[in-house]
Structure 1
Amino acid sequence: MVAPRPQPRTAPPPAPGRLLDQVRDRIRYLHYSRRTEEAYVYWIKAYIHFHGLRHPQEMGGPEIEAFLQHLVSQRSVSGNTHKQALSALLFLYAKVLGQTLPWLNDVQRPKATQRLPVVLTQDEVARLLAALPAQHRLLGQLLYGTGMRLMEGLRLRVKDIDFDHRAIIVREGKGAKDRTVMLPDALIPVLRQHLQQVHLWWQADRDAGVGPVYLPHALERKNPRAGLSWSWFWVFAQPELSGDPRTGEVRRHHAQDQAFQRAFKKALAVAQIAKQATPHSLRHSFATHLLQARYDIRTVQELLGHSDVSTTMIYTHVLKVGGGGVASPLDAMLQRAHPLEASPSLQAQ
């Protein structure tokens, strides 16, 4: 007699309740990020409203294709946005509704857009950082000086700064991975002074009986007083108290990314930089400038936290000047015709 095969272990079914609550519960059960939760809920709501509030159980592949076609033809979304919307719907059917129908694999996947990153020169970075308001400048300097992502910088805790070893520990970066980056020597006195001001906010919160800062996972239950300690306080704390979006508890949150993004955009205009740069361009510039300084690509990969070196290789394409250093035939022709004269257009410049 053949013993029955053991059944694969599966996650418990979603708790009963409203569909979007089930989506949120499943996302949190799988430890997806809050940003992913917000994006998935947004696209699932848009999908349901597009089809006249029909329940997804009553729909399938044709309805998904119709919704995605609407996004492309009517809203002109990019390939990456198209891909994110599709991922949200596949998550809904496979992980929340538990459907394993063949049409899930038949839905056409969009081709992701591949673009070269926007990289600033060192002079442009200097002008940009100088144009940032004082309350945002230190964060901008840290993003360029360490290669951190914006949210990685905003989520830094006091305990993550190691002055003795000139290091910063990035906790749970993209892919839930920790890594170590350098602490620029030039920022040590500025950062110490900044933390003195932040310590005053922490002390004021303790005197006023403000609740603990947010703690990851179950740490708040295991160590309730950790969120009240100075070591867990935010390096870039928000000046005002705010309600926790999940629990409603009033507490001190880290600074908002939108505030820095707005300041960055204004600084671009003040510095007269015409490139379509974003805060993430500081990370791109960090990597490119390290490669220009002849640092090994594996070292840059480790500092950026890339799982695959092929992701880091994108910056080698940025380093190629003028189509890989190939001289234009126009320059060669003009050089032969006027070997001792510069082009009039170049003289005008």
Structure 2
Amino acid sequence: MTAVRVSSAVMTHPVRRDQAEALATRLGLGGLAMDPDPNGAPSALRTALVAWSAVSDTATHHLVVQDDVAAPPELLGLVAGSASRFPEDALIFYTNWHARNGAAARLAALAGAGWVRAVPEEFAPTLAICLPADMATGFRRFARDSAERHDDEVMAMFLRQVGRAGLLSVPNVVEHIGTSSINGHASQGVRRAVCPVGAADARPLLCHGWVLEELDWLPYMRYGEGYLRMAGQEKAADPRHHARWQEALPATGLTEGQVRDVARRNCPPDTASEVARHFGAPFAEELWIHCLLLGRQAEDAARRHAPQAAGIRAETDQARVRLRGAAVSTVALAGLPPERRPGVLPEHAELLTAYAWSAIRCGSLLLGPALVRRG
């Protein structure tokens, strides 16, 4: 097997040059990929093409990192190890907590996976992404004449053409910092990693964690409401259609009556009232049902796809426990409307996390045998 050699570049703009240089120095990354037209209309793709042109002659893989992130000093080592394990895949090391891909990573974390295949129809997160060198060349050719300014959208288009969506690192060691956006995403508010963990916990999961390749229906939240993404949705006439959970639920084999019955019997009334007092009754109801469905799907994925526990390293098992905690800590914050996120106090975040866990732990009640027994 050819030894992996990773070159790297940091995408930046002159207004963030100092920030980018500090990041590159701290992480031992390659040079800066500067926006070639800093006074032009905002375009992340314009800068991304510079970054993906910086593949060194000896590199087997190339990592591109954006300048508004934080990451541990071990990042390059973690990337190289991951590329050794998955040498032909696009590897994505940061996933937004409020996107469909974020929901996929959160579900995978709860199922115990270390990696999950990205949702094909959504943008491909590009804050920290590694491509094989030949794929980087292919992306440049694909993207150089595009009129699209968002590199994450063009990356997703490219990966769809290649026929293989990226692999999302379930443990996120890369974190987005700040809320400003040169490329016009500030309206999305606070944007964070879906499963933030340290390098020590990420390493065993990236090296030994199993891959969730098959995504069944996927619960996700946006702007305070719950939705479902169905398997194969990328082939639909409108692949980015957001189907409310009530609308899509019949295709899952569940009924709204079953879901609401489990909620009626098991949602903790005092905690629900407290969440409703701070964030409104509609959000409290939507969050609990979303987490119930999330728990159901995570349990189902673990039963159907996870390898047997025999031979699992102790450090990997302990890391999974902490990863699950990280994943659940972001579910309610990500589900809130963007304007509500900055005002969430630490004690409110703890309340929301406990409330989310109360629903996730009931997810197995929606699996087949449990429904028969409850019937």
Q: TM-score under structure 1 normalisation?
A: 0.24
| Pair member with larger Rg | 1
Q: TM-score under structure 2 normalisation?
A: 0.23
Q: Which one has the bigger strand percentage? A: 2
